[in-house]
Amino acid sequence: MKAGFVNIFGKPNAGKSTLLNALMGEKLAIVSPKVQTTRHRIKAIYTDAHCQIIFSDTPGIIEPRYKLHEKMMQAVKSSLEDADVALLLADATESPEESGAIFSALKLKVPAIVVINKADLAGPEQLKQVVDYFKQQPYCRHILVISALRKTGVDALLKSVVEFLPEGMPFYEGDDLSDLPTRFFVSELIREKIFLLYGDEIPYHATVLIQEFKEKSTLIKIQADIIVQRESQKGIILGEGGKMIRQLGTQARQDIEAFLGSKVFLELFVKVRPKWRDNEWQLREYGY
Ligand SMILES: Nc1nc2c(ncn2[C@@H]2O[C@H](COP(=O)(O)OP(=O)(O)OP(=O)(O)O)[C@@H](O)[C@H]2O)c(=O)[nH]1
Ligand SMILES: [Mg+2]
């Protein structure tokens, strides 16, 4: 058997969460076109007859400006500490230097596979330039070009990951997909819809707290609070006559039903908690 931790690192929006989902063939991590969507380390357990790979999606690497950001970068740090293999994800459409500087600063002690993502958006000349740049970097043990969105190159990546994986026994039961509780995934699906439906600072000032999760005979009743920092943001989340929050509720409920394989009754409340992103106690209460 081979078994180990394979952790994904990169700038915000590189496609780390999309890649995790593509590797697993299952949507475990939320995705949005906006930066800083992921705030937690999300472990996903891939098991077959020959290996167990514990993949971790991590928040995009940034310079922290709030306590929330510091928590996000702690998630990156913890993923650096237990990695057996690092996947360094870079966006093919960007010039490589910025990602390159971030990867160097990680000071990795484990083998790294550089993964050039969004190949579907880049021309051959651009791809060659990016690949040539990373090939010269000392941390680059192997390099692959993929499109996580179109799932091209993902099988080849999985193969190459297994080659770098150490020998060992599985860490988790064969049918576990993650070590995170169902409530976490539910709150994330609601948060994803906030990222998709609202502009400007709203997604960055919002978080979601599941207050109730009750399995009834025919459905699951879920009550969640959407926490924002200001009254004006509460108004935007609600929308005129509650139009926006109804849309949010419908979209989130559909995804939660698909995830849980059950009918769901979803109730959302909006609460204002000034400066929650800088408050240690509130961050803890909200799961950070
Ligand atoms: N065209 C294209 N878009 C992609 C690809 N991979 C990801 N994306 C898009 O890029 C955006 C960001 O994807 P995410 O997976 O959320 O990126 P991330 O690295 O997890 O971002 P953070 O969580 O903010 O650090 C989304 O709109 C994805 O659909 C790809 O291979 N091709
Ligand atoms: Mg992400």
Nearest ligand (C-alpha, residue 150): 1
Query: Residue 209's pLDDT band (boundaries 50, 70, 90)?
Result: very high
Transcribe 101-162 into DSSP letters: HHHHHT---S-EEEEEE-GGGS-HHHHHHHHHHHHTSTTEEEEEE-BTTTTBSHHHHHHHHH
**pLDDT at residue 152, rounded to an integer:** 98
* pLDDT (tens digit per residue) in 115-135: 999 999 999 999 999 999 999
Nearest ligand (C-alpha, residue 31): 1
* pLDDT (tens digit per residue) in 132-178: 999 999 999 999 999 999 999 999 999 999 999 999 999 998 788 99
Model confidence, pTM: 0.97
Closest CA to 197 of 238, 149, 228: 238
| Ligand 1 binding pocket includes 93 (Cβ within 6 Å) | no
231/169 Cα distance (integer angstroms): 52
| Ligand 1 binding pocket includes 92 (Cβ within 6 Å) | no
DSSP helix/strand/coil, 213: strand
Q: Which of 41-55, 60-74, 169-183 has the lowest mean pLDDT?
A: 169-183
**pLDDT at residue 175, rounded to an integer:** 84
**pLDDT at residue 89, rounded to an integer:** 98
215/136 Cα distance (integer angstroms): 54
**pLDDT at residue 173, rounded to an integer:** 86
| Ligand 1 binding pocket includes 62 (Cβ within 6 Å) | no
